[in-house]
A and B are shown apart, each in its own frame.
Chain A
């Protein structure tokens, strides 16, 4: 059974901390994505990666960076967490572009 896992379900951090969100997929997918989901705003794409060490900015990359050193792992980094980054973060992967995405369970991040 295909699987996308995220390192934490819930995370509480303080303003200014560096935060790492990890995502791992076991499907050998080329493409991986990070979204944030906020009430009334739906899912918004932060970054995506179509290959190891390759990344592209999504709609809201400001305040975030990503790392893809291995095919199965895609990390989202908040360089200096701020309260407006309190959100649900969803990781996804897909085999082919524009096709079915498999999502992880999400990380609910609270920045105090």
Chain B
């Protein structure tokens, strides 16, 4: 079952601007992950943040996690046209094996 819910569904920005997308979830988690999917391709893992972490950085990516609000945000700084993709959050599930993915945020970065 899907637990993560991304917001907004779609986002359009210009190169150089920052892009922020949010994820809300319903039940307690051990970790939350963000993935990117280029059009018609498989998903690529971006970053994993554990439930006891509040913020994590990877290059131009910054992820925050607020377990009290059951929400996470992904910030992409100084965006590039190549960042155009769909972004998904994923939480670990009750079964412990599978991940629950949200429906994604579609990001368009125009030159």
Task: Report A's interface with B, CB cutoff 8 A.
Answer: 4, 31, 33, 35, 40-45, 48, 50, 56, 58-59, 88, 90, 92, 97-106, 108
Contact = CB atoms under 8 A, between A and B. Distances in A.
A48 B98 contact: yes
Given A44-B2, A100-B48, A58 B40 contact: no
Contacts, number: 61
Interface of B: 1-2, 30-31, 33, 35, 40-45, 48, 88, 90, 92-93, 95-99, 101-104
Is the contact region of chain A dominated by helix, strand, or loop, or is it mixed?
strand
Contacts of B1: 59
A33 B98 CA distance: 8
Contact of B97 (A31, A100, A102): A31
Contacts of A100: 33, 45, 48
A56 B95 CA distance: 10
Contacts of A31: 97
A105 B41 contact: yes
B90 to A, nearest CB: 8
